[in-house]
Amino acid sequence: MLGSKYRTHNCGELVKGDVGKEVLLGGWVHRKRDHGGVLFIDMRDHYGITQVVLNPDCKCYAEFQHVRTESVILIQGKVISRADDAINSKMKTGDIEVVVEDAQIESVADVTPFMISSDEKVNEELRLKYRFLDLRRESLHNNLMMRSRVISFIRKHLSDKGFTEMQTPILTSSSPEGARDYLVPSRVHPGQFYALPQAPQQFKQLLMVSGFDKYFQIAPCFRDEDARADRSPGEFYQLDMEMSFIQQDDLFAQLEELFLEMTTALTDKKITQMPFPRITYKDAMNKYGSDKPDIRYGMELMEVADIFAKGSFKAFSSLNEKGKALKALVVKETAGEPRSFFDKAEAHAKENGAMGLGYIVFKETGPKGPIVKFLDDALIQELKERCAIEEGDTVFFGGGEWLKTCEIMGRMRTYFAEKKVEFDSKEMAFCWIVDFPMYEYNEDDKKIDFSHNPFSMPQGGMDALLNKDPLDILAYQYDIVCNGIELSSGAIRNHKPEVMYKAFEIVGYDQAFVDDKFGHMINAFKFGAPPHGGIAPGLDRIVMLYCDEPSIREVIAFPMNGKAQDLMMSAPGSVTPEQLKELSIKILDTEL
C-alpha cells in the first residue's frame, strides 16, 4: 500500500529536470494502451497529463490490466526520460514518463456514457445529465478556467481603480423590469412573495445615494425567460457597476480600459479599434439593421428610396416618405451563383417577415433580375454609383415601414455574411450604441411606452419632457456590443424625483403609481442623490467570446437546458404536500 501522502507532484508539472525523482501522483485514467505487455496509462488531473508505465513485473500489473478509464488511481514511481521517438512536444510533460513501482485503484469508475478523452460530439441532453463527467473534458475544463481568470482579473482591476465590491440582496421585491420574475413564497407572511432579482439595478442606485462612489459586483441575476445561444434560462451572472458624478464618457473610458487590458492579458485576441466606435441607435438601424451590429465586416445597408422615387416601379417609388424606407444591400461576387442561391435568400427574407426580396444581378452582359424590366438605365446607373456596385455584385432590396425594413434587411446582412465573409477568430470588434429613443409607440396598446430602462435620464432633462414630442426624446441609454453580441445595456440614471414623475406621466402612470412601485427610490432621491450611471456586461457572454464558443452553456459549470431544466439535479421538481401547506400554497389542476 502507498503511504498516507497522496501526491508529491501534480500531473502537469514533471519535466526533464525531474528525471530520477521518486514521485507520488494521483489522478484519473485518461487513456490506457497495452504495447506488447507493457501498460501505458495517461494519468490526468486538474493540471495536466503524465504518462505512467507499468511493466509486467510490477506487483499491481494484473489489477491494472483491467482498470477502466476514469477510475481514480494513485501511483508511486520514478521519473525517467522518454525515448527520443516517444517525445510528445505538444505536452508540457512530453519529455518524461513515470515507471510505476507501486499503485492502487482508489475509486473504480463505471462505464462512462460518453468518452472523456475524445472530442466526439455528444447529445447535449446527455452531457447535461452527466455534467460532472462533461466537465472533465479538456475544452470545457479550459472554458471554466478562463471564466475563473476573467473574474479574478475584473476583481483586481476594478479594486485597483477604486471600486468597492459589495453584495446586494437575493430575496427582494418584485419589480417590472421587462422579464418575468422568479417568485419565492414567504412562510412567515402567508400569501406574500419575494422575487429573485432580475438585476441589482435599484440597489446599486441606492448605494450611490448612500455615498459609495464606485461599486461593482459579480452579480447573479434571475429571469424567467426562454433560452437562446447567448442567453441562459433562469440565471446568469453579470459584472454589475455603478459610478457617481459621471457622464457617459467617464463610464465608457472605464469599460474600454478594462476590456483592453483584460483581453490583452488573458487571450491572444485583438481589439480592432480603440476607443470603441460610437454609433447612434438610428445610424445602427439604418446601416446595419440591428442595434447590436457586427462591425467586423462592411456590407452596410444603403437608403435608396429617393432614387426609386424618380422611377415608375410603383412597389418602390412610394417608399420615399416619412416612416418608410427602401434599403439596398450589396453582396459582392455573387453574380455567378445558381438560381437556388437567390431563391433561398428570398425564402429566408420571407421567414423573417418580408413580402419578398427584390434584387439586381450585375453580370458581364448587363443587369439582370426580376425587377430590371421596370427600371430605366439612368436609375440603374445612379444606383450603381450610390452603392458602389461593381460587375459581379448583386444588390438586394427590402422596403416598407422603417423599423421593420431595417430589421429584416439586418437579418439578411447576417445571412449573407455567414455565407460570404471569412471571419478572423482573433478579432474583437467592440462598439457603443448610443442615443436610444426614450419612448416608443406601442402598436398593440395604441400608446406611448418606455423604449428601454424607465430609470434613464432623458437627454434635455425636464425641458425635453415638457416641450418635445415624446417619440423625439433621446435617453442617456447605451449598449456595449462585441462581434454582433450585446454584452450589456447601461444608462446615466434619472436621479431627480420631479423628472421621474414626469417621465412616467408621459406613458400614463400617475404619481401614485410611481410612489407605490418605486417609493423607496423616490424617497431616497429626496434626500440628495448624486448624478450617477452604470452598466452590467454579461459575464457569461464575455467568456463565451473569449473561448470562441457558440453557446453560453459551454462556459457555465452547471447550466440548464433550453427548457429551463437541470437534468443532473432533476430541477424543477415536485415538493411534498407538507411543504406546500407550510407555505400556504395550493397547486391548481394543470388542465385549468
The whole-number pLDDT of residue 592 equals: 44
- Supply the range of the domain harboring residue 63: 16-107
Are residues 486 and 556 located together in one domain of the fold? yes
Mean pLDDT of 344-358: 95
Examine the domain organization and report whether 457 and 398 are in the same domain.
Answer: no
pTM above 0.95, yes or no: no
56 backbone dihedrals φ, ψ, rounded to 5°: -60, -25
The 3-state secondary structure of 291-310, one letter per residue:
CCCCCCCCCCCEECHHHHCC
Residue 465 maps to a domain: yes
- Identity (one letter) of the amino acid at 379? L
Cα–Cα distance measured from residue 484 to residue 430, given in angstroms and rounded to the nearest whole number = 9
pLDDT at 420: 93
Contact between 103 and 56 under an 8 Å Cβ cutoff? The reply is no
Is 446 within 8 Å of 341 (Cβ atoms)?
Answer: no
88 in any annotated domain? yes
Q: What is the pLDDT of residues 449-472, one digit of tens each?
A: 998 888 899 999 999 999 999 999
Domain annotation covers residue 177 = yes
Q: Can you give the CATH number for the domain in which 410 is found?
A: 3.30.1360.30
**Same domain flag for 408 and 439:** no
> Nearest to residue 238, comparing CAs of 556, 566, 569?
556
List all residues 6 or more positions away from 436 whose beta carbon is below 8 Å from its beta carbon.
281, 291, 451, 452, 474, 475, 477, 478, 479
pLDDT in tens, 86-104: 999 999 999 999 999 999 9
Tell me, what amino acid is at 310?
A: K
Q: Are residues 416 and 443 in the same domain?
A: no
Does 46 score more than 70 pLDDT? yes
Look at residue 576 and tell me if it is in a domain.
no
Among the residues of 97-183, which ranges form H helices? 124-129, 131-134, 138-160
- Residues 384, 493: one domain? no
Are residues 270 and 157 part of one domain?
yes
pLDDT tens across 254-312, in order? 999 999 999 999 999 999 999 999 999 999 999 999 999 999 999 999 999 999 998 88
Q: What does the pLDDT read at residue 268?
A: 97
* Mean pLDDT, range 216-240, rounded to an integer: 87
Single-letter amino acid, residue 230: D
227 and 312 in a single domain? The answer is: no
Return the pLDDT at 326. Answer: 96
CATH of the domain at 96: 2.40.50.140
Residue 590: the pLDDT is 64
From 170-184, 254-268, 314-328, 433-447, the region with the lowest mean pLDDT = 170-184
What pLDDT sits at residue 133? 96
∠ CA(460), CA(462), CA(468), 5° rounding? 65
Longest dimension (CA), the chain: 93
Whether residue 346 is contained in a domain is answered as yes
Q: Are residues 231 and 309 in the same domain?
A: no
Number of domains into which the chain is organized? 3
413 with 438, same domain: the answer is no
